[in-house]
Structure 1
Amino acid sequence: MTQQFRTEELPDTDEIEQITRAAWHYYNDGLTQNQIAEILGVSRIKVSRLLEKGRQTGLIELRINSPYGGCLTLQQELADAFGLADARVVPAFDEAPVTPRIGRAAASFLVQKLEPNDLLAIGWGEATTSTLRYMAPVFPNSNISLVSLTGGVSAYIGNTGLYGPQNNAHLIPTPLRVSSPELAEMLRIEPYVRHVLDMAATARIALIGVGSVSNTATLVRYGYCTSAEVELFARRGAVGDVLGYFYDADGHILDLDLHRHVVAVRPDDMRRIPNVAAAAAGPQKIEAILGLLRGRLANILVTDETTARELLRRKG
């Protein structure tokens, strides 16, 4: 069967031979373009052009034999479907817990995106904790600072190795939820708390978890909400929470008394952060993630393959 080229400008016989030799040395032998240039007696720029022409004409076709291949397609589909700036999807693997795998993927993404002396704002939840554990070795050499988006973070960040006098961690020194709206407001205007809240809003990148509305939600397990409250919130239309604020299926923040007890950056202020990455996966999180994305509460998603497929199916 004759090779079908994809462009009108077909290489001649001599150029086909050069492209073939360049591709063989580059992809099979692992040689650099400089090394190939010496072998072929051409410039490095010429080698680069040969490889590019080989790809454009169809002489070179790359095949990635990896479970991540399909996930790369899903990433683009998620970004297109929900208007995301970026997405990361890890392959499905039922034999391993999902949270550590999502944490590792989120850590990998953040390490690629964060720059030296950057400020990373962090939210509440187990996905955040898992991510920070994987990132711990990176922080000492990068001078990246952490700033919390909510109170209560110090309760679980201590075992990540990132919170101590030697680290640049600026955490709100309060619980996530306090006993009265009056106390919450007093704490928000207390100088150090106000300073941290204002600092969080200036971050370039934020990492948040996505809470589900269930008796097993992290807020319930940490004692910030009761099962009865969560059931009431669900009856009022809640599908998930972010930073302790519950929202409906379209991502609208509900009018709940609980929100007046929360010490955290408000969702509208969080939206001003250019890159808000949400890390979440699992069947119990589908409704919560859908609402989060519909409400533009995050513009980056880190999830797994099964969750990604269900999100796309349910987008509607």
Structure 2
Amino acid sequence: MDKFEVKLDQAARAAWLSYVGGLTQDEIAAQLGVSRPGVQRLLSLARQEGLIKVHIDHPISSCMALGRALGERFGLGYCDVVPANPDAPESAAFYLAVAGARRLSHFVEQSEPLTLALGAGRSVRAAVEALDRIERPQHRFVSLIGNVARDGSANRFDAVMALADKTGGERFLLPAPVVAESVEEKRALLDQRLFKAIGAVAAVSRAAFIGVGRIDRQATLYQDHFISQAELDELLALEAVGELLGWPLNEWGELIECSITRRVTSLALTAFSQQTMVAIAGGRDKAPAILAALRGGWLKGLITDEAAARYVLDAP
């Protein structure tokens, strides 16, 4: 997708919010993370390119409707839904990364120093990679989840290092496995001065961008060697459907109490109740996990695709 196509998508979103959603230009500016003159330019582009007729003549129109429905149903500050072509599933991942990068850039491009928290995973890393390079050495980026697997290997989908490299900002990594070997090991990690320092940085973050993990036989936690086969079996027996930062959730978004949650080293989800936690995740396979995260009220923002959005909205 070139820069003009990205701008055209933005114009379609602005047009939908204005002509279908009935929002004011100030409200649209807040939704899209642009200035009021920026909204005016987007609406002008939409008219110039013939997008505005009796209806918004662009595939993004149905996505906007899905996003608004999800936002209203789950009380989200915003929900971006990108197209999902069943014949080309890789295209949805690309659009998801572009949409995630657009939301990330709203924070990264600010000149005032800020702290941004990040989870790990393919979608979050892809969003960071889709960002343009910009010098922001005044910013701090902090990890919310351990970056070490059981075998000692580093997390391939860490996003903090990539974002710091693109901006020159400070980086703060959580030096721990996602799941400790024992409760005693977790206590020892949490008592470390370095671990507490990372938590203090995360506590003042403006927003947190995280992934959503599925819990099934193809669970990322298992595939990337963060949990064992026996631990995966335990989660499945307890009817876990997804996880946020390694914390397992049932279908209603409730944290599951088990031997694994007693050893998860990630910062507690409840610590972010007053902050903007945004999930970047899509696909039919992840839809039950996304639904659980929404039902649990953990998210204030969501960037997803049509396949997941339709599944969530069709759920009772």
TM-score clears 0.5: yes
Q: How does 1:1-316 map to 2 (within 5 A)?
A: 63-94=55-86, 95-97=88-90, 98-114=92-108, 115-116=110-111, 117-135=113-131, 137-138=133-134, 140-141=135-136, 143-152=138-147, 155-156=155-156, 157=158, 161-163=162-164, 166-273=168-275, 275-314=276-315, 316=316
In 2: Cα distance, 1:62 partner to 1:185 partner: 61
Distance across 1 between alignment mates of 2:53 and 2:247: 48
Q: What displacement does 1:285 show? A: 1.0
CA shift, 1:255, in A, is 0.6
Retained in 2: the 8 A contact 1:126–1:218?
Answer: no
Counterpart contact for 2:145–2:266, Cα < 8 Å: yes
Q: Does the C-alpha gap of structure 1 residues 137 and 62 become closer, same or farther in structure 2, counting only changes over 3 Å?
A: farther
TM-score, structure 2 as length reference: 0.74
CA contact 2:137–2:168 (8 Å) conserved in 1? no
Corresponding residue number in structure 2 for 1:5: none
- CA contact 1:76–1:87 (8 Å) conserved in 2: yes
Give yes or no for contact 1:67–1:91 (8 Å, CA) kept in 2: yes
> What is the CA distance between 1:73 and its match in structure 2?
1.3
Structure 2 unmatched ranges of 5 or more: 1-39, 44-51, 149-153
CA–CA distance in 1 between the matches of 2:145 and 2:161? 17
Shift of 1:160: 6.4
Contact 1:177 1:262 in 2 (8 A): yes
- Kept in 1, the 8 Å contact 2:160–2:171? The answer is no
8 A contact 2:119–2:209 mirrored in 1? yes
Query: C-alpha distance in 2, partners of 1:102/1:142?
Result: 26
* Identical residues among aligned pairs (%): 28
The count of corresponding residues between Structure 1 and Structure 2 is 257
State the one-letter code of the partner of 1:260: R
* Secondary structure class of the residue paired with 2:252: coil
Q: CA deviation at 1:228?
A: 3.5
Amino acid of the structure 2 residue aligned with 1:242: L
Change in CA separation of 1:113 and 1:161 when aligned onto 2, cut-off 3 Å:
closer
State how far apart, in whole Å, the 2-side matches of 1:312 and 1:230 are. Answer: 28
* Shift, 1:113, TM fit: 4.5
Q: Distance in 1 between matches of 2:233 and 2:247?
A: 15
**d(CA) in 2 for partners of 1:113, 1:279:** 16
Larger mean CA deviation between 281-290 and 226-235 belongs to 226-235
1:76 maps to a residue whose letter is R
C-alpha RMSD of matched pairs (Å): 2.6
What residue identity is the alignment partner of 2:57? Answer: N
Q: 2 CA distance for matches of 1:76 and 1:146?
A: 30
TM-score (norm 1): 0.74
Q: Give the greater-gyration-radius structure (CA).
A: 1
- Distance in 2 separating the partners of 1:297 and 1:135: 25
Superposed CA deviations along residues 262-297 of structure 1, whole A, max 9, x for unmatched, are 211111112232x11111111111111111001011
Which amino acid is 1:204 matched to? R
State the AA in 2 paired with 1:103: A
Displacement of 1:64 in angstroms is 2.9
1:208-265: CA deviations, max 9, x gaps?
1111112222111111112342232122121111111101111111111112222111
Give the aligned residue type for 2:202.
A
Query: How much does 1:71 deviate?
Result: 1.1
Which shows bigger deviation, 258-267 or 289-298?
258-267
Q: Deviation of residue 99 (structure 1)?
A: 3.3
Contact preservation (8 Å) 1:215, 1:227 = no
- How far is 1:176 from its partner? 1.6
CA separation of 1:191 and 1:218: change in aligned 2, threshold 3 A: same
Q: Is the 8 A contact 1:201 1:265 kept in 2?
A: no
Distance 1:163 1:174, change over 3 A: farther
Structure 2 distance, partners of 1:218, 1:289, is 14
Distance in 2 of aligned mates of 1:192 and 1:305: 41
